[in-house]
């Protein structure tokens, strides 16, 4: 009896599975034609009463910024209501593809840049091609090329970094740069460093004086230091091309090996927080804010500086040896319009508003880093914010933005994190770290080729 039952169960399961497998191929159901022949318009007032749903992943000051931007837009166009929903970053990026397939899903959303999220959404025809709006609003002229590229894909979806607009940046940015503890630097009698050589000299002096040169922890990642150093060494164009899928450029061309060698030597010199390999990210940040450590490479905004802290810490974007400034930087999200949005004109006007000078000024007023617009009025008493704003002005002027290297493949961030831990433990060489990055990206490029 029991045997019989087991056989029945197995048989039923097998039949059902076969039926399911043979049934249909998952995905690819969206057949929306993108050849929107209707002329685009920037006349928002003429659109009648419109409600747009917005999904984004911003909290605290960033959330207040987007609320302020909505308020400004609704005040200008009383016929428009923007209905905002906020979810945490991981939640939104992992479910956005489902949300955008839902007829009641968001009209506008903040996606993650790169292939992991934006590329997949564009390729799946879930987000609108924004070229006609880019022309209408002149985004090609206003947005620095290096930032514009971050939102572009070729329409055969084999290449990121050129082609059509599928998302827009924001009037505020996120950079990787060097924070320093003002009091400790003063006590050491040092000026804020301007180049990598300055920094290493300062770090040596700090170590001699018994200070921890770099507040750091690597147990759950912590790639800002590698990416920050790489931006000071790399050829800007090579790094851009590597990330934007140019198979002619390899990881070795992006000075990754040199950057890895540099940070490994820092680790070996004892310049990182003692036992950094067992310290997690949150603790490392807390340690730095607590006065343990003179410097820290960090994403802007991630330290959560406020009040007095804005003057206790400074920010610099170190220049390359040539004097030019290159920095990892992007909008902290890519704004997309859903393919099924019924009022794309209104949605595009809102995205344009999010890139406006007013948006940058609002960001500065809330202690956030402005981007795209250089003529902002900075508060007098916020040293770190002044440093961050100066950095974006320099990067805007030099067109010196490079994207996050992990955009080059969906798995690259994991690969880099793992190999940095292996590097610190002496289990791989800087060269092997570069090889691992190259192998990861090559595998992904091959996959892209298969898809086309």
Partner 1 sequence: MTATGTRPPAGLPGTPSRPARAGRAGAPRRPSARRRRSRWIGLGFAAPGLLLYGYVVLVPLLQSVQYSFFRWDGVTQAVWVGFDNYTRFLTDPELRSTFGHVLVLVAFFSVLPIALGLLSAALLTRTRLPGMAAFRWIYFLPQVMTSIVIALVFKRIYAPEGPLNEALRAVGLGSLARSWLGDFTWALPALGLIGTWAGFGFCMVLFISGASSIPPELYEAARMDGAGPVREFFAVTLPGLRGQLAVALTLTITGALRTFDLVWITTRGGPGTSTLTPAVALYRAAFQNPQVGQAAAIGVVMALLCLLIALTITRLSEKD
Q: Which residues bind partner 1 (CB under 8 A)?
A: 5-6, 8-9, 12-13, 16-17, 20-21, 23, 25-28, 90, 94, 97-98, 101, 115-116, 120-121, 123-124, 126, 218-221, 274-280, 283, 410-411, 414, 417-419, 421-422, 425, 427, 447, 450-451
Distances (CA, A) of 276 to 40, 143, 407, 424: 54, 39, 26, 10
In the complex, least distance from residue 12 CB atom to partner 1, rounded to whole angstroms: 5
Looking at the DSSP bridge assignments, the partners of residue 157 are none
Which contiguous run of DSSP H or E holds residue 335? strand 334-337
In the complex, least distance from residue 123 CB atom to partner 1, rounded to whole angstroms: 5
Two structure tokens written together for 408:
């080059």
In the complex, least distance from residue 242 CB atom to partner 1, rounded to whole angstroms: 19
How many angstroms from the chain centroid is the CA of residue 64? 20
Measured from the CB atom, the residue of 7 and 379 that comes closer to partner 1 is 7
In the complex, least distance from residue 421 CB atom to partner 1, rounded to whole angstroms: 4
Measured from the CB atom, the residue of 125 and 309 that comes closer to partner 1 is 125
| Alpha carbons 426 and 171: distance in angstroms, whole number | 42
Measured from the CB atom, the residue of 213 and 327 that comes closer to partner 1 is 213
Measured from the CB atom, the residue of 96 and 229 that comes closer to partner 1 is 96
Two structure tokens written together for 239:
């790094």
Q: 73, 353 in Cβ contact below 8 A?
A: yes
Measured from the CB atom, the residue of 7 and 186 that comes closer to partner 1 is 7
Backbone phi and psi for residue 262, each to the nearest 5 degrees, phi listed first: -60, -50
Checking phi first, is residue 91 left (phi over 0); if not, alpha (psi -120 to 50) or beta?
alpha
In the complex, least distance from residue 218 CB atom to partner 1, rounded to whole angstroms: 7
Measured from the CB atom, the residue of 120 and 384 that comes closer to partner 1 is 120
In the complex, least distance from residue 191 CB atom to partner 1, rounded to whole angstroms: 32
**Considering only CA atoms, which of 435, 436, 420 is closest in space to residue 224?**
420
Query: What is the crossing angle of helices 224-233 and 196-208, to 10°?
Result: 130
In the complex, least distance from residue 141 CB atom to partner 1, rounded to whole angstroms: 32
Looking at the DSSP bridge assignments, the partners of residue 278 are none
Measured from the CB atom, the residue of 79 and 421 that comes closer to partner 1 is 421
Residues 6+ apart with CB under 8 A from 64: 366
């Amino acid at each position: 009896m029991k045997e019989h039952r087991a056989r029945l169960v197995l048989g039923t399961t097998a039949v059902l599975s076969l039926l399911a497998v043979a049934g249909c191929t998952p995905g690819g159901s969206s057949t929306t034609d993108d050849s929107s022949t209707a002329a685009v318009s920037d006349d928002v007032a003429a659109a009648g009463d419109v409600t747009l749903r917005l999904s984004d992943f911003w909290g605290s000051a960033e959330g207040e910024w987007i609320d302020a931007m909505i308020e400004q837009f609704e005040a200008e166009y009383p016929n428009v209501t923007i209905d905002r929903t906020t979810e945490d970053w991981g939640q939104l990026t992992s479910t956005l593809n489902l949300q955008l397939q839902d007829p009641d899903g968001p009209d506008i959303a903040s996606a993650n840049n790169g292939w992991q999220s934006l590329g997949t959404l564009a390729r799946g025809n879930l987000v609108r091609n924004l070229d006609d709006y880019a022309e209408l609003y002149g985004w090609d002229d206003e947005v620095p090329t290096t930032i514009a590229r971050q939102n572009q894909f070729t329409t055969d979806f084999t290449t990121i970094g050129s082609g059509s607009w599928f998302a827009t940046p924001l009037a505020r940015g996120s950079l990787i740069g060097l924070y320093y503890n003002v009091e400790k630097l003063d006590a050491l009698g040092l000026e804020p460093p301007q180049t990598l050589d300055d920094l290493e000299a300062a770090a040596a002096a700090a170590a001699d004086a018994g200070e921890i040169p770099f507040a750091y922890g690597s147990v759950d990642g912590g790639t800002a230091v590698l990416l920050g150093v790489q931006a000071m060494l790399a050829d800007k164009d090579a790094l851009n091309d590597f990330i934007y899928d140019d198979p002619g450029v390899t990881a070795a061309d992006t000075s990754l090996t040199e950057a890895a060698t540099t940070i490994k030597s820092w680790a070996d010199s004892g310049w990182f927080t003692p036992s950094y390999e067992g310290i997690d990210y949150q603790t490392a940040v807390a340690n730095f804010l607590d006065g343990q450590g003179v410097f820290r490479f960090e994403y802007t905004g991630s330290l959560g500086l406020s009040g007095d802290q804005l003057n206790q810490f400074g920010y610099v974007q170190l220049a390359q040896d040539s004097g030019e400034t290159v920095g990892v930087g992007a909008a902290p999200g890519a704004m997309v319009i859903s393919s099924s949005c019924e009022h794309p004109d209104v949605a595009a006007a809102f995205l344009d508003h999010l890139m406006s000078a007013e948006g940058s000024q609002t960001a500065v007023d809330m202690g956030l880093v402005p981007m795209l617009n250089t003529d902002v009025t900075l508060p007098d008493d916020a040293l770190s914010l002044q440093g961050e704003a100066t950095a974006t002005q320099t990067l805007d002027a030099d067109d010196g933005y490079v994207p996050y290297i992990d955009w080059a493949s969906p798995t690259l961030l994991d690969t880099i994190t793992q190999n940095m831990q292996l590097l610190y433990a002496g289990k791989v060489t800087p060269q092997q770290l570069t090889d691992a990055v190259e192998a990861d990206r090559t595998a992904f490029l091959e996959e892209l080729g298969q898809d086309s």
